[in-house]
Amino acid sequence: MPVGTVASVKGVSQDIIDVQLLLGNTYHLYLRPGIEQVRKLGGLHRFMSWPRAILTDSGGFQVFSLRELRKLSEEGVTFRSHLDGSAHFFSPESAIEAQIGLGADIIMAFDECTEYPAEKARARQSMELSLRWAERSKRRFEVRKHEVPWGPISSFPNPERETPPGMSPPGNDNGMGAEARQSLFGIVQGGMDFQLRRESAERTVEIGFPGYAIGGLSVGEPRALTREVIEATLEHLPTDKPRYVMGVGTPEEIVEYAALGVDMMDCVLPTRAARHGLLFTSEGKISIKQARYASDQNPLDPNCACQVCHRYSRAYLRHLYASNEVLAQVLNSVHNLSFYLDTMRAVRHSIALGKGARFLSGEQS
């Protein structure tokens, strides 16, 4: 899932990328333009003119990243805006209300992302808090879930116009014209401790959600540990519900995690790296800013079918980057997102053929 932090996948118009599900960040949208503003404008789908699915996080991870600017209590988190220093408060209830206001298809329980490293006692205390908050999140969601502030997508003023080229318009058998409904996912925490991860998974499943996320990763731990925690947690999550690992990873990692049984992943890496001139290709990573590409007339990635690789040379992309052109960020982002989406398409294809294990062992080329 590409990340559209403030209702925009940075640098990329949505109709360029063929993707089913985008992410939005509740913390950022709450601060600007504000939940009420988005609600008044018809919810996130209509506001950003995106008829496909959207997932919003609960804001917990962003608030956690503020560190100096936050204060935690049983009730919730007081934090200061990174924009203007103003004071705000998120609780499980207000995070759910905010996500109902935004109107994403999948919304997330409010959790505490345990810092790394953390002693076992501290990881347990944090996990227990997240479990109590998961119950509160679900309780509030159950009361409010029938209120659909934005209406079904087929009621868009102009569904044809809002349908990107090549996509079928909403309102037919693809389900997009169905009455809009939200799903609330639970989040497993427990630090890097396998026992706690198991307990958190089992107790989150007991509370009962239509999908489960593994949170608290990509917080500075070594990558080998990330993989071990994912593997140790997955075996305690039901295989008939979506299993979502938050905030990962490199192209190699997402292939590996998918092979472990992960269904959903999100990461800012493809777009963020692109803005820094770091490009993922079938031949490895390329730093397009390097002088060695100044006269290189080859496509960025000869095996990539994206419009950037189809049309432009490495020399041109290097020139755009060196000249600090906005187009450099756009083209780099389009390629990196295409590369990620192609990678996942290949994974899905290989699963459909029953070749998951062979794909993982590197025989995809």
Q: Which residues bind Zn ion (CB under 5 A)?
A: 304, 306, 308-309, 335
Nearest-approach distance from CB 309 to Zn ion, in angstroms: 3
Nearest-approach distance from CB 319 to Zn ion, in angstroms: 17
* Residues 349, 352, 353, 356, CA torsion sign: positive
Nearest-approach distance from CB 358 to Zn ion, in angstroms: 25
Q: Residue 100 or 334: which CB sits closer to Zn ion?
A: 334
CA distance 68 to 53: 34
CA distance 249 to 266: 8
Nearest-approach distance from CB 331 to Zn ion, in angstroms: 9
Nearest-approach distance from CB 98 to Zn ion, in angstroms: 36
Phi, psi values for residue 243, rounded to 5° = -120, 120
Q: Residue 230 or 308: which CB sits closer to Zn ion?
A: 308
CA distances to 28, 147, 170, 229, 349 from 63, rounded to whole Å, are 10, 27, 35, 23, 37
Nearest-approach distance from CB 279 to Zn ion, in angstroms: 8
CA distance 324 to 316: 12
The answer to whether 104 touches 152, Cβ cutoff 8 Å, is: no
Q: Residue 96 or 337: which CB sits closer to Zn ion?
A: 337
Q: Residue 80 or 272: which CB sits closer to Zn ion?
A: 272
Question: Which own/partner pairs from 250-258 qualify as long-range (CB within 8 Å, at least 24 positions apart)?
Answer: 250/280, 251/280, 251/339, 251/340, 251/343, 253/223, 253/226, 253/227, 254/340, 254/343, 254/344, 254/347, 255/343, 255/347, 255/359, 255/360, 256/227, 256/360, 257/227, 257/230, 258/344, 258/347, 258/351, 258/356
The answer to whether 201 touches 231, Cβ cutoff 8 Å, is: no
Q: Residue 157 or 166: which CB sits closer to Zn ion?
A: 166
Query: Computed over its alpha carbons, how large is the radius of gyration of the chain?
Result: 21
The answer to whether 299 touches 281, Cβ cutoff 8 Å, is: no
Beta bridge partners of 23: 3, 55
Q: Write down the residue that tokens 């007339």 correspond to.
A: 297
In the residue annotation, 266 being an active-site residue is answered as yes
Q: Residue 249, preceding bond cis, omega within 30 degrees? A: yes
> What's at 176, amino acid-wise?
M
Residue 91 half-sphere exposure toward CB, CA atoms < 13 A: 11
Nearest-approach distance from CB 40 to Zn ion, in angstroms: 39
In the residue annotation, 15 being an active-site residue is answered as no
Catalytic residue among 105, 111, 266, 301: 266
Question: Which own/partner pairs from 69-76 qualify as long-range (CB within 8 Å, at least 24 positions apart)?
Answer: 72/112, 74/129, 74/132, 76/110
Q: Residue 219 or 306: which CB sits closer to Zn ion?
A: 306
Catalytic residue among 18, 57, 105, 111: 57
Q: Residue 14 or 99: which CB sits closer to Zn ion?
A: 14
Nearest-approach distance from CB 305 to Zn ion, in angstroms: 7
Residues with active-site annotation: 57, 266
